Structures are given as C-alpha cells and as structure tokens.
Amino acid sequence: QVFVADNIKEVIPEFLMLLKGTIDCPDLPLNVSRSFLQNDGYVQKISAHISKKVADKLSALFKNQRDDYNGYWDDINPFIKYGCMRDQKFYERVKDLIIFKNLDEDFITLDEYLDKNKEKHENQVFYISDKTQQSQYIRLFKENDLDAVYLDNIIDTHFISFLEMNEQSVKFKRVDADISQSLKDTQDEDDKKSNKETDKAIEKLFKKVIGKDELKIEVEALKNASLPAMILLSEESRRMEEMTARFGDMGMNYPMPKEETLIINRNSNLIQSLVELSKDDSKDENIKMMCQHIYDLALISHKP
C-alpha cells in the first residue's frame, strides 16, 4: 500500500496512454529504478497482461456492443493502430476488430470490404485521405457503384504499409492512384485497334502543348463522358513523398520524382471535338489553349 509512481512506462505500454486507473501490485519492488524495471521479468508480464486485457475488452465491445464500439472508433483508432505496429501479439488479438468507414458512412472490417468488392477489384483497397481534395474521385466511385474507405489520420500512411506487410495479398491504393477497371468503358479488341491512331494523336498533342517530359499521358475510355481528363499519382511515389516531407530528406540531395499520369478520356465530347479541331491547322492557337485548360482543370481537381 505504498505509492510508487504515477507513470511507469515500462509497466503500461505507451500506446495505452489513454488508459486511466491504478495498478495495485504487491510484487513490484519499491526501488523502481528505470534499469531495474527494464530487466524485471515480472514487470514485462504485467505489461503483456494489460495489453491482453485491453484486447479482450475491445473484442467484447465489438461482439456485444457494436454501436458503442463504432462510436468510440474515431477517438481510439490511433492508439489501436499504433499498438498494432508496436506489439505484434496485440495486433494478432485485435486484427479482426479493426474497422474502416466506407463511402456510405458505414463501419466495416477489412475482410468485409474485400469480400464485398472481390468481383470489381480483388485484394485491392481503395482509400480516401482527404474528403475535400478527392471529391471528384469520390463522385466517380459513387457513380460507378464502387466503394472506398476513409483513412485520414496522420498514422494511417504507416499503418497501411504495416497491414500490407502482414496481409501480403492485400494492396492499398488511394483513389487518385489508379483507375479501377470498373471505371473504364468495356470495349472489344476491334474498337481498341480502330482507336489506336487517334489515341497516339491525342497523346502527341497534349505532350507537345504541356511540354513536361516527366508527365506520363495515357488515353482511356471512361464511363463518365463529362470528365475530359484526370490526374493520377502513383501510390509508391506519393508515399515516398509524404514520408520525406514528414521526416526530412534524410540526407538525400535530390528531389523525389513525381510519377504523375494525365489520363485523357476518349469518351469525352470535349476531347472528341479537340480531335476534330486538330485537323484544321488554322485552329492551332485554340487547340493549345484548350489542351492547357484541360490539364489545368485536371490539376485543380487533383490538388486545389
């Protein structure tokens, strides 16, 4: 019954810093020097036991009081995700309790998301990190009956990399990193062949006007005809960019290249009109202005 300390990080795992309470432990030595605690097997057992009890409590809430659990999730998920990355045993206990909010504002587990979307994009999880910035892509997904999850917490960039290491068949992609096959207009091989020359002409036209050698330009037939063009940034390139921004350049003296791709929508009336106009040499100035404007609109939609 002696007060020993009000905070012993060796006893309470640091990811459980939100816990409030008292540990009454008769076997804890009164001489609680840091070096002694770090090497004391009993202290490590207490720490592991606390982690297990928290995991058990979360599991009970998930199974018996799911609405309450969903209500707590926004507040507790950074601690749970951090705990998973710090303690593999904790991850194994709670991995089936990790939930995500989807486009319908419902909470679902990773397995539920993968099962629901396996016919559209198997083992791929599309996610949104900024609801406002990626609103154009969210609208596209909703129009084509596709689903994505919100991952807008600062820890999520690291957590999805951690999940990919543990669930090796699963890949996370931000909604502006790739085009799902479900967004593309299905064409037969004859259509593709007949459009090959037109596609090359469109690529050449935009490449010449924009004048950026590092920018990839691809022509696709999208279901949404009102969208003339969109920007995609590769998942790997963006993650590296975010990590560099967060942790400094770590001694790198060269900027990381951005793997941006401009997707031109062949089904857009504006693009089709542009192809027709390009046959008239007297319209060169108009064509240049329109190409630049289409690219600017795509950039604004991608990152205001």
Tens of pLDDT, residue by residue over 48-104, are 888 999 999 999 999 999 999 999 998 999 999 999 999 899 999 999 999 999 988
Q: Choose between 223 and 29: higher pLDDT.
A: 223
% of the chain residues with pLDDT over 70:
85
Tens of pLDDT, residue by residue over 3-62, are 777 777 777 888 887 788 887 877 766 666 666 666 667 777 888 888 999 999 999 999
User: What is the Cα–Cα distance from 110 to 187, expressed in whole angstroms?
Assistant: 32
* Whole-Å CA distances, 247 to 230, 252, 282: 30, 12, 52
Single pTM value for the model: 0.75
Measured in whole angstroms, how far is the alpha carbon of residue 104 from the centre of its chain?
17
Q: Structure tokens of 195? A: 């459009």
Q: Structure tokens of 246? A: 């967060």
Task: Identify the three-state secondary structure at position 157.
Answer: helix
